């Protein structure tokens, strides 16, 4: 199978790969706690793996993953209290996204798909794309931005959550991410440490400094006990199919 990961290519291989005007996927992750059973790199590993699989379907290339993300929030990522969570200020991530896109364009890339793997990154990555478009839009550059979990269909949700879906914000380090990790990286999942805490209950506001006691001590915002590799496989296959279709629709 042809190599799709840019950081494993030599410069002549990358140069030659660009001749077909491929879509370049940019995984936008984070280094953040994901409970006692998952590694700090979940938000990097999952979008990178999905980008690799989709790139193989559409003939694309996967740029090196942006491994640091915008600030983890208590109501979606557990917050900054957990050791190992490394947060960027918004302007830092905005500049990284802008600069990476600008550099890809300088080398001839004209189709970019930014794949967000960290909930808090969404609008920060959008700003970086917007600034890059101001500088590079005249080149014919086109950019997509997506969060892979938004592609989850009702049929897949029913398969993964037969008792009801708690919502994507509470799914931090829970069934969805744990299942996908069991599919892609089973050796990195500590089955013996999967938490089974009840769903976190948050008020309809945020506060600073963040209240540490809002977040379950495990770091998982709801139970991950229902996770399985089979559920992960079902999500991954459906995501890859539908993301590839969306990329083909927009970029041809």
- pTM of the shown model: 0.96
**Hunting for tokens 């989850």 — which residue is that?**
152
Indicate whether 66 belongs to any domain: yes
- Reported as a single tens digit per residue, the pLDDT across 96-154 is 999 999 999 999 999 999 999 999 999 999 999 999 999 999 999 999 999 999 999 99
- Judge contact between 226 and 175, C-beta under 8 A: yes
Please state, in angstroms and rounded to a whole number, the distance separating the CA atoms of residues 174 and 110.
Answer: 36
E strand or H helix that includes residue 27: strand 23-28
Q: Where are the beta strands (DSSP E) in 78-183?
A: 87-88, 111-116, 142-147
Indicate whether 1 belongs to any domain: no
Q: Which phi and psi (to 5°) does residue 131 adopt?
A: -65, -40
Q: What is the mean pLDDT of residues 24-34?
A: 98
CA-closest candidate to residue 43, choices 181, 156, 166 = 181
Indicate whether 116 belongs to any domain: yes
Structural domain count, the chain: 1
Q: Which phi and psi (to 5°) does residue 129 adopt?
A: -65, -45
- Judge contact between 69 and 118, C-beta under 8 A: yes
H helices of 40-121, in order, are 42-58, 90-106
Could you list the residue range(s) of the whole structural domain that residue 47 is in? 6-251
- Reported as a single tens digit per residue, the pLDDT across 67-112 is 999 999 999 999 999 999 999 999 999 999 999 999 999 999 999 9
The helix/strand/coil state of 61 is strand
What pLDDT is stored for residue 168 in this prediction?
86
Which residues are known to be catalytic? 32, 34, 43, 118, 120, 172, 177
Tell me: pLDDT of 1 over 70. no
Indicate whether 241 belongs to any domain: yes
**Hunting for tokens 């917007």 — which residue is that?**
130
Overall residue count recorded for the chain in this entry: 252
H helices of the chain, in order, are 11-17, 42-58, 90-106, 122-136, 154-160, 175-184, 229-251
- Reported as a single tens digit per residue, the pLDDT across 232-243 is 999 999 999 999
Please state, in angstroms and rounded to a whole number, the distance separating the CA atoms of residues 116 and 222.
Answer: 21
Q: What is the CATH number of the domain that holds 58?
A: 3.40.50.10310
């Amino acid at each position: 199978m042809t190599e799709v990961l840019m950081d494993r290519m030599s410069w002549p291989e990358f140069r030659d790969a660009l001749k077909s005007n491929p879509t370049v996927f940019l995984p936008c992750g984070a280094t953040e706690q994901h409970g006692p059973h998952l590694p700090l790199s979940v938000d990097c590993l999952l979008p990178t793996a999905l980008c690799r699989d989709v790139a193989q379907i559409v003939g694309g290339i996967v740029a090196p993953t942006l491994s640091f993300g915008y600030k983890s929030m208590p109501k979606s990522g557990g917050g900054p209290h957990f050791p190992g969570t490394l947060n960027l200020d918004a302007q830092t991530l905005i500049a990284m996204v802008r600069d990476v896109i600008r550099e890809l364009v300088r080398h001839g890339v004209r189709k970019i798909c930014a794949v967000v793997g960290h909930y808090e990154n969404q609008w920060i990555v959008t700003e970086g794309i917007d600034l890059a478009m101001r500088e590079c839009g005249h080149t014919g550059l086109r950019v997509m931005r997506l969060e892979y979990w938004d592609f989850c269909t009702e049929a897949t949700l029913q398969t993964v959550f037969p008792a009801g879906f708690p919502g994507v914000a509470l799914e931090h380090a829970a069934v969805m991410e744990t299942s996908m990790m069991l599919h892609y990286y089973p050796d990195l999942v500590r089955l013996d440490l999967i938490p089974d805490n009840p769903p976190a209950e948050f008020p309809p506001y945020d506060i600073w400094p963040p209240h540490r006691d809002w977040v379950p001590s495990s770091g998982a915002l709801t139970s991950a006990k229902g996770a399985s590799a089979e559920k992960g496989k079902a999500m991954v296959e459906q995501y890859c199919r539908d993301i590839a279709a969306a990329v083909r629709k927009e970029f041809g």
